[in-house]
Amino acid sequence: MPKPLVIVESPAKARTIAGFLGDDFVVESSVGHIRDLPRSAEDVPAELKGTPAGRLGIDIEDHFRPVYLVTPDKKKVATQLRRALKDASELYLATDEDREGEAIAWHVLEVLKPTVPVKRMVFHEITPTAIREAVGSWRDLDMKLVEAQEGRRILDRLVGYELSPVLWKKVMPRLSAGRVQSVATRLVVDRERARMAFRTGSYWDLEGDFSARGVGFRATLVALGGRRLATGRDFDPATGRVAGDLAGEVVCLDEEEARGLADRLDGADFSVASVESSAWKQSPHPPFITSTLQQEAGRKLRFSSARTMAVAQRLYERGYITYMRTDSTHLSEQAITAARRQIGQLYGEEYLPQAPRQYRRKVKNAQEAHEAIRPAGEAIRTPDQVAGELDADERRLYELVWKRTIACQMTDARGRRVSLRLGATSSAGEQATFGASGRTIEFPGYLRAYVEGADDPDAELEDRETPMPPVTEGEAIACEELAATGHTTQPPARYSEASLVKELEARGIGRPSTYAAVIQTIQDRGYVWKKGSALVPSWTAFAVIQLLEEHFGHLVDYGFTARMEEDLDQIARNEGESEKWLESFYFGNGQVGLRDLVAEERIASIDARAVNTIPLGVDAEGRPIAVRVGRYGPYLEQGEERASLPEDLAPDELTIGKAVELLERGRGGGRVLGVDPATGLPVTVRDGRYGPYVQLGEPAEGSGEKPRTASLFKSMQVESVTLEEALALLSLPRVVGVDAEGRSITAQNGRYGPYLKRDTETRSLDTEEQLFTVTMEEAEALLAQPKQRGRRTRAPLAELGPHPDSGAPVRILDGRFGPYVTDGTTNASLPRGVTPEDVTMEEALSLLAARAGKGPARRRKGTGRTAARRAPVKKPAAKKAAAKKATTKKAAAKKAAPKEAATTEPTGEKAAAGTAGPGPARPETGTSGD
């Protein structure tokens, strides 16, 4: 008997809903987007190859009509869904309720072309009650939401596919540009520029330990002789000095002056000059929306945005929290009732406000969901109640959501704030004023449940009390100790993922549902790398942003991007027409449009050398030094001299002094380590084109004989390598011994790593250090083993323990392109600047989760080893000519077709919703609309 067919995006969501609906329904998954724009030249339909529509995936001459097709990896899914539909009585489209979910449902409809009744089923939590209600209260497909998503998709494809080839030609291959990712990259670059331009200032003050009425407290010098003491905010970041307009208003002490004042105040009488006391009241923060969840999980749990959204997706699909992509702070009456009930049970009636708290946020976007992120269900489950059902990450994020939800319905926190001013006269008659302030909590209110974190790790948490003594004006205060304290001004802090999300949202750039994908993309493209939790731009990012600012300025302008976002939202609200807007953006309509900006003659006029040159300044002799970004990476340049740049050196750390040091190191002399006692020749360490190395002696003039050299081990640094280590390196290859047949076995360091050699036989060693430690017995045993094809399995660099979900061992291994973390199913490279010894299990799981969400890497056809070894086939002369003609046509079509180098904006987060089991899911390209 026919049954209703329910189609959702992900297998996990399908399993949960199937369990609620039972045998009366059939539930299937589309595994993300079932249909999309072409992702590579191979995807383009034959009739469109060689046309602008085939290159862009958009027919700009036909009302910006997108070229949709069922992607190769989804053809099997489409077949399964068609088969399921044949036996269905009706079709329920149960994709997520936002703009992209509506678009996924429409694509499913377009591919399946059902003849049975179609119903759109929406819900914001996956619970038995919510699903049953959704079945009974279905609606039609909302085409305005579909059109809104399609408009963003088209815009992002146009920006990405038109700008990215410019970067390939002028900077380096395989780069990408995008409507939001390029602006996000510019934010990170601009912050680094500010750090590079920053000049440190120094100032001193006095800090003292005081006591009164049995209470000790600290106070700081705030004024001297009636003038305010200088603090960090009074300094000009461009000069490192007190800003000119404040010079007469503030006192700036140096070390000598501060210490002298401390001596003159020794033994002085201190008394209370003033007391200010005021009551304070603090209300709880609203419940989580997508952006605030990402920010707070970053601060409190140290989760990346991608990890936060991946964990939240699992919690939603399994019915633990409501839909996690929302800009609404509204809570349903059911949720408020459940929260208030639990507050009364856990904390008491005094923690309940008289009336429920209502949170309203002006939401302009047509896509937004109806509720904030909260625990799902009619009765809120505590973290303890669900702990046994969730993995470690899920437990921590659920607890965060639960605390925030409960706290937002609790009473205000109340207390008292006290500010003291202490006065004293020095032995030289100077009037010194010290200040101290404190805060006490009289009733904790919502702070019993939740305290919000801060982007600044040194910021005072909201629940910290600093009591002050109950003193009165004129009362004597005992000074226990006075000390001069020095301070330096600090450059603006680099963005973390949490603070970058906050900045993007504050500027109205992009949408919170895609922030995680955007931040992941700019890291994947090599524009940004992490130093701890800080986002550091690469020199490639500097070159790309320099090019975009100079030649496509409005596309990376913060204000323009925010206005463009609002225009798109107006279209979604039916206040504008998508086609007219796209036409104006692309063709210009009397102004300069995107098509004009990427015209061949205009691109040809861009000076590639100029956009790839980042000036640093001049050395002591007035000679300019710059960073140049080449096709193989960045390097230093001064005149004809060049020097490599360490990969882990942040741009703001590349001072003129450091640049001069690197250039000197790269010159002929290098750094002298000492003299080789056997030859009397100097031993130097140098930076070369292929990495650092040590050298014995110098080339003999006219002889043409090169001096002996040896590369440094990966574990060695140019700055710290010793003469003893250098001589050991120069002694290689080492003769390990001679076998019974008189054959010599040597340990050598080669292009692909350390190895043993006996005649023509070779075997790889696990580590470079084994070159000096491997014994004859070990060498013979290794050579007796069959030679393995490919790379030998090396010993793990670190064993982190079993995976909390699968139980598989999580390890850090040394790969051909550097260390990576693996659980046997998914591999994830360690970020630049991160050493294997510093990686925790939490960080490893975060890297694995982010990599799994991106899907497996796609190999290019014809570039594998099999293709490389394939012998050429001889052809008769006539066939050669035909083959050449066909090859020329194919190359022309491929040139006109979209490249594989991911030029669109990043994958929409729900595109990875197809994750089934522990294996990685393949994301849909460019579905985010950002």
What pLDDT does 855 receive? Answer: 53
Average pLDDT of span 860-882: 40
* pLDDT grade for 752, boundaries at 50, 70 and 90: confident
| CA distance linking residue 309 with residue 233, whole number of Å | 37
User: Apex CA 54: angle with CA 51 and CA 57, to 5°?
Assistant: 140
What is the per-residue DSSP string for 141-160?
--HHHHHHHHHHHHHHHHHH
Q: Looking at the predicted structure, is the pLDDT value of residue 868 above 60?
A: no
Average pLDDT of span 124-144: 92
Helical (H) or strand (E) element with 829: strand 827-829
| CA distance linking residue 645 with residue 523, whole number of Å | 19
Contact 452, 296 (CB under 8 A): yes
Q: What is the mean pLDDT of the chain?
A: 85
Q: Looking at the predicted structure, is the pLDDT value of residue 475 above 70?
A: yes
Q: Which residues contact 97 (CB under 8 A, 6 or more apart)?
A: 122, 123, 124, 323, 369, 370
- The more confident residue out of 911 and 588 is 588
Query: What are the DSSP E strand ranges found in 134-283?
Result: 202-212, 215-224, 227-229, 235-236, 241-242, 250-251, 270-282
What would the pLDDT profile of 878-922 be if each residue is shown by its tens digit? 444 444 444 444 444 444 444 433 443 433 444 433 333 332 222
- The more confident residue out of 818 and 170 is 170
What pLDDT does 570 receive? Answer: 84
- The more confident residue out of 291 and 867 is 291
What would the pLDDT profile of 789-804 be if each residue is shown by its tens digit? 555 556 688 888 887 7
What pLDDT does 592 receive? Answer: 85
Q: Looking at the predicted structure, is the pLDDT value of residue 370 above 90?
A: no
What pLDDT does 120 receive? Answer: 95
- The more confident residue out of 896 and 484 is 484
Q: Does 755 participate in catalysis according to the annotation?
A: no
3-state secondary structure of 91: strand
3-state secondary structure of 116: coil
What pLDDT does 801 receive? Answer: 81
Q: Looking at the predicted structure, is the pLDDT value of residue 851 above 90?
A: no
| CA distance linking residue 930 with residue 910, whole number of Å | 13
- The more confident residue out of 703 and 195 is 195
Give the whole-number percent of the chain exceeding pLDDT 90.
59
| CA distance linking residue 12 with residue 916, whole number of Å | 7
Average pLDDT of span 848-870: 50
Using CB atoms within 10 Å of the CB of residue 267, give its burial: 0 to 12 exposed, 13 to 18 middle, 19+ buried: exposed
320, 323, 347, 450: the catalytic one is 323
| CA distance linking residue 207 with residue 209, whole number of Å | 7
* pLDDT grade for 847, boundaries at 50, 70 and 90: confident
Average pLDDT of span 632-646: 87
Contact 16, 921 (CB under 8 A): no
Contact 398, 320 (CB under 8 A): yes
Task: Provide the 8-state DSSP code for 373.
Answer: B
What pLDDT does 369 receive? Answer: 44
Q: Which residue has the tokens 């949720």?
A: 335
What pLDDT does 912 receive? Answer: 36
- At 630, the amino acid letter reads G
What is the per-residue DSSP string for 416-433?
EEEEEEEEEE-TT--EEE
Instruction: Name the least confident of 323-327, 483-487, 589-593.
Output: 589-593
Give the whole-number percent of the chain exceeding pLDDT 70.
87
Q: CB count, 10 Å around CB of 820? A: 20
What pLDDT does 751 receive? Answer: 74
* pLDDT grade for 823, boundaries at 50, 70 and 90: confident
Task: Provide the 8-state DSSP code for 139.
Answer: B
Average pLDDT of span 683-688: 82
Residue 897, CB-side half-sphere exposure with 13 Å CA sphere: 21
What pLDDT does 648 receive? Answer: 84
Q: Which of 309, 333, 334, 308 is nearest to 127 (CA)?
A: 334
What would the pLDDT profile of 498-532 be if each residue is shown by its tens digit? 999 999 999 999 888 889 999 999 999 999 999 98
Q: Please provide the size of the chain in residues.
A: 930
Q: Which of 710, 911, 896 is nearest to 50 (CA)?
A: 896
What pLDDT does 568 receive? Answer: 83
What pLDDT does 865 receive? Answer: 35
Q: Looking at the predicted structure, is the pLDDT value of residue 776 above 70?
A: yes
What would the pLDDT profile of 431-463 be if each residue is shown by its tens digit? 999 999 999 999 999 999 987 665 544 444 445
Q: Which of 562, 555, 520, 526 is nearest to 542 (CA)?
A: 526
What would the pLDDT profile of 189-235 be if each residue is shown by its tens digit? 999 999 999 999 999 999 999 999 999 999 999 999 999 999 999 99
What would the pLDDT profile of 537-574 be if each residue is shown by its tens digit? 999 999 999 999 999 999 999 999 999 888 888 887 77
Q: Looking at the predicted structure, is the pLDDT value of residue 843 above 90?
A: no
What pLDDT does 894 receive? Answer: 42
- Bridge partners, 753 (sequence order): 750
Q: Which residue has the tokens 């290689």?
A: 732
